[in-house]
């Protein structure tokens, strides 16, 4: 096998840092796992039954590329009612990751720049590079708020896209209406495409979710059922945006993913009608427990949504803290997986309460050991 077979683009994509942590933890016995970026509850039973019914009914072949009509109708009605844009179109994607890839490959060409907020979801940089683009990182430390002046300073004549995510993975920051409005208006002013990753929008605990789409009718929104309904393995997402962009994304989907999994689209109809408020309430209580338990020993910002805490390491080194945590049978993720800095670590509180309590005990002991208290 020749090394020259591998395309240059692949050398710009690193193996997942999360996978590296899992490799480190391979020999752990009964680990305290606060690393998983997915809900801890199973897919609700009515959704599972709807999937079974769909397969029994023969919905096992390809669907239309843009998605089945009944689901599209529901999604489009919701979007029309929410935003009232004459030119906003919906289609169904193969997961939110699929939607992100389609959006970036549709909008970004070789050398085009994509503004990404640091800390960021791990895929953003790699998908940008896959599309031929150049990631341009805008620092949001220490409080993870969007500083529109920093964004303005990062815009060049090569800037094609601004990519935002609220509530955020990994920080849990929920952007305020002021942040979203300023960002939306800046993108409009400079004729830069704005992609809003809204996969965690159901999980907002202190303030209401706001989308930049309220102030910029050209915003491309990526959404889905994976996190809200614990359907991460089902690969079902949806996207909406200006019709001329969506049509190009649908064309690209036709020649890549073909369509979202057909029977899962019928199950998504049941998911749309399923009330997840009890799960949101449960995660708010878990968030409150973690903050109350850890705030005396750690510096924590963000944490208003999703199900993550992005915590500053007491010794200023995220990787070193994570190694010590793994030695104590606690599995967490170093912040440099999500950032150009290595000062923090990410924990997920999408876990059973007993697991969270065990994790808190280890974290507090480590904090006191590392800081010499």
Find the CATH number of the domain harbouring 68.
3.40.640.10
Question: Which one of 238, 273, 308 terminates a domain?
Answer: 273
Residues 6+ away with beta carbon under 8 Å from 358: 32
DSSP letter string over 205-222?
A: SSS----GGGT-TT-EEE
1 has pLDDT over 60: no
**Is the same domain home to 62 and 210?**
yes
Indicate whether 87 and 170 sit together in one domain. Answer: yes
Percent residues over pLDDT 70 in the chain: 96
pLDDT at 6: 87
Range of the domain at 214: 58-273
pLDDT-above-90 percentage for the chain? 90
Long-range contacts, 8-14 (Cβ 8 Å, 24+):
9/129, 9/130, 9/132, 12/126, 12/129, 13/126, 13/129, 13/130, 14/126
Determine the Cα angle at 98 with ends 93 and 101, to 5°: 125
pLDDT in tens, 90-125: 999 999 999 999 999 999 999 999 999 999 999 999
Residue 21 pLDDT > 90: no
Both 202 and 321 in one domain: the answer is: no
Which residues, at least 6 apart from 329, have a Cβ–Cβ distance to it below 8 Å?
28, 29, 30, 31, 32, 362
Check whether 359 has a pLDDT greater than 70.
yes
pLDDT of residue 373: 62
pLDDT at 125: 95
- For residue 53, tell me if it sits in a domain: no
Domain assignment present for 51: no
The answer to whether residues 192 and 212 touch, using CB atoms and an 8 Å cutoff, is no
**CATH number for the domain harbouring residue 319:** 3.90.1150.10
Query: For residues 337 and 14, which has the higher predicted lDDT (pLDDT)?
Result: 337
Indicate the helix (H) or strand (E) that contains 193. strand 193-197
pLDDT at 28 over 90: no
Domain boundary among 251, 273, 295: 273
Instruction: Give domain status of residue 302, yes or no.
Output: yes
Angle at 315 between CA 313 and CA 319, to 5 degrees: 60
pLDDT for the residue numbered 29: 80
Q: Are residues 317 and 267 in the same domain?
A: no
Q: Report, as an integer, the average pLDDT of 3-28.
A: 75
Residues 96, 34 share a domain: no
Which is nearest to 318 in space by CA: 341, 340, 294, 344?
344
Between 175 and 22, the higher pLDDT residue: 175
Is 266 within a domain? yes
Tell me whether residue 163 is in a domain: yes
The pLDDT tens digits for 190-204 are 999 999 999 999 999
Encode pLDDT of 270-322 as tens digits.
Answer: 999 999 999 999 999 999 999 999 999 999 999 999 999 999 999 999 999 99
User: In the predicted model, what is the mean pLDDT of the chain?
Assistant: 95
pLDDT at residue 11, rounded to an integer: 82
Is residue 291, in this structure, part of any structural domain at all? yes
Pair (288, 262) in one structural domain: no
**62 shares a domain with 20:** no
Same-domain check for residues 297 and 258: no
In the chain, how many domains are there?
A: 2
Residue 324 lies in a domain: yes
- Say yes or no to pLDDT of 41 above 80: yes
Q: Kindly report the length of the chain.
A: 373
Token output for 358 = 């065990």
* pLDDT tens-digit readout, 216-273: 999 999 999 999 999 999 999 999 999 999 999 999 999 999 999 999 999 999 999 9
Q: Looking at 273, 298, 333, which one is the last position of a domain?
A: 273
The answer on 168 and 103 residing in a single domain is yes
- Check whether 35 has a pLDDT greater than 80: yes
- The pLDDT assigned to 24 comes to 66
Q: Does residue 18 surpass a pLDDT of 70?
A: no
Whose CA is closest to 321, among 333, 309, 306, 310?
Answer: 333
Same domain, 269 and 284: no
Q: Do 186 and 312 fall into the same domain?
A: no
The answer as to whether 184 is a domain residue is yes
- Is the pTM higher than 0.75? The answer reads yes
Joined together, the tokens standing for residue 149 give: 């002046």
Based on the domain organization, do 81 and 184 belong to the same domain? yes
pLDDT number for residue 101: 97
């Amino acid at each position: 096998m020749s090394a020259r077979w591998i395309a240059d683009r692949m050398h710009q994509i690193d193996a997942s840092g999360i996978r590296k942590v899992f490799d480190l933890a391979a020999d752990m016995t009964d680990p305290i796992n606060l690393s998983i970026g997915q809900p801890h509850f199973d897919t609700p039973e009515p959704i599972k039954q709807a999937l079974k019914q769909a397969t029994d009914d023969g919905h096992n072949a390809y669907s239309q590329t843009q998605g089945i009509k009944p689901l599209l109708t529901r999604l489009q009605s919701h979007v029309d009612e929410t935003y009232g844009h004459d030119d906003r179109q919906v289609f169904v994607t193969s997961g939110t990751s699929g939607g992100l890839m389609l959006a970036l490959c549709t909008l970004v060409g070789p050398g085009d720049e994509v503004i990404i907020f640091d800390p960021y979801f791990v895929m953003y940089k790699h998908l940008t590079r896959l599309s031929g683009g150049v990631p341009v990182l805008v620092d949001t430390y220490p409080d993870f708020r969007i500083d529109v002046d920093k964004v303005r300073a990062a815009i060049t004549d090569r800037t094609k896209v601004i990519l935002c995510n609220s509530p955020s993975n990994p920080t849990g920051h929920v952007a305020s209406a002021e942040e979203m409005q300023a960002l939306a208006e800046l993108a409009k002013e400079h004729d830069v495409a704005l992609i809003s990753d809204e996969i965690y929008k159901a999980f907002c605990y202190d303030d209401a979710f706001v989308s930049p789409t309220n102030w910029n009718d050209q915003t491309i929104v990526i959404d889905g059922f994976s996190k809200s309904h614990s359907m991460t393995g089902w690969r079902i997402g949806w996207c909406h945006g200006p019709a001329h962009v969506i049509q190009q994304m649908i064309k690209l989907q036709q020649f890549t993913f073909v369509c979202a999994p057909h029977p899962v689209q019928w199950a998504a109809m049941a998911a749309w009608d399923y009330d997840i408020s009890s799960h949101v309430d449960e995660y708010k209580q878990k968030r409150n427990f973690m903050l109350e338990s850890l705030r005396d020993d750690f510096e924590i910002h963000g944490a208003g949504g999703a199900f993550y805490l992005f915590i500053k390491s007491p010794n200023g080194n995220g990787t070193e803290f994570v190694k010590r945590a793994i030695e104590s049978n606690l599995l967490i993720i170093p912040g440099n997986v999500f950032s150009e800095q290595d000062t923090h670590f990410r924990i997920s509180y999408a876990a059973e309460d007993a697991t969270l309590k065990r994790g808190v005990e280890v974290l507090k002991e480590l904090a006191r050991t590392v800081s010499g208290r």
